[in-house]
């Protein structure tokens, strides 16, 4: 999928498993390092790799020069709910609109797949991401939860996907 036609427009395509997985793990690690400083790069990359074993709704990749990716999964406790498990932009593309474009792509594919809501979890200190999500209509729900690898707690957010019949 391509968004826009102007030179330098953000181009989003379907990611390919396994071909794009290592590159996306690297983007995730670089984005975390830019945000948090030092991270356990191997543990963080492995979290990305193992996520591709889950049922995938949409794996989207934004290619150079503004690299990023998003991974939407099913398999939540609520079968009408999809999970935006990862959304990351390489630090060199931060602020360029790639994250918003990947988020719009994730919402579009979850909606087209018949889900009634899209959820995600974000660290409570990740103000930039929280602003992107809330501007897109995501609302917090539930209390803070510990991050599985420690550090700042997580908050869940949900976006209602309109005009969808319940999944069976």
Question: What does the pLDDT look like over 127-152, one tens digit per residue?
Answer: 999 999 999 999 999 999 998 877 78
Residue 40 structural domain: 12-160
For residue 60, give the 3-state DSSP assignment.
Answer: strand
Tokens describing residue 156: 């869940």
CATH of the domain at 84: 3.40.630.30
166: in domain: no
Tokens describing residue 59: 């794996």
| Secondary structure element (H or E) that encloses residue 139, with its range | strand 139-145
Question: What does the pLDDT look like over 86-132, one tens digit per residue?
Answer: 999 999 888 899 999 999 999 999 999 999 999 999 999 999 999 99
36: in domain: yes
What total of structural domains would you count in the chain?
1
Tokens describing residue 133: 């999500």
User: Would you say residue 22 has pLDDT above 80?
Assistant: yes
2: in domain: no
User: Would you say residue 156 has pLDDT above 90?
Assistant: yes
The pLDDT value given to residue 8: 65
168: in domain: no
5: in domain: no
The pLDDT value given to residue 168: 54
CB burial class (10 A; 0-12, 13-18, 19+) of residue 8? exposed
pTM of the model: 0.89
Q: How confident is the model at residue 163 (pLDDT cuts 50, 70, 90)?
A: low
| Secondary structure element (H or E) that encloses residue 157, with its range | strand 154-160
């Amino acid at each position: 999928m391509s968004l826009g036609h102007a030179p330098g427009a953000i181009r989003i395509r379907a990611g390919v498993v396994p071909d794009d997985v290592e590159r996306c793990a690297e983007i995730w690690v670089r984005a975390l390092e830019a945000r948090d400083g030092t991270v356990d790069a191997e543990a963080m990359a492995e979290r990305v790799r193992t996520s591709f074993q889950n049922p995938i709704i949409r794996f989207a990749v934004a290619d150079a020069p503004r690299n990023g990716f998003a991974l939407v999964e099913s398999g939540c406790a609520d079968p009408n709910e999809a999970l935006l498990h990862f959304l990351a932009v390489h630090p060199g593309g931060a602020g360029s609109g790639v994250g918003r474009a990947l988020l719009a792509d994730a919402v579009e594919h979850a909606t087209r797949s018949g889900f009634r809501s899209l959820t995600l979890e974000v660290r409570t200190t990740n103000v930039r991401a929280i602003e992107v999500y809330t501007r897109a209509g995501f609302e917090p729900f539930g209390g803070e939860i510990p991050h599985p690898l420690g550090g700042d707690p997580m908050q869940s957010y949900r976006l209602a996907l309109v005009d969808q019949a319940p999944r069976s």
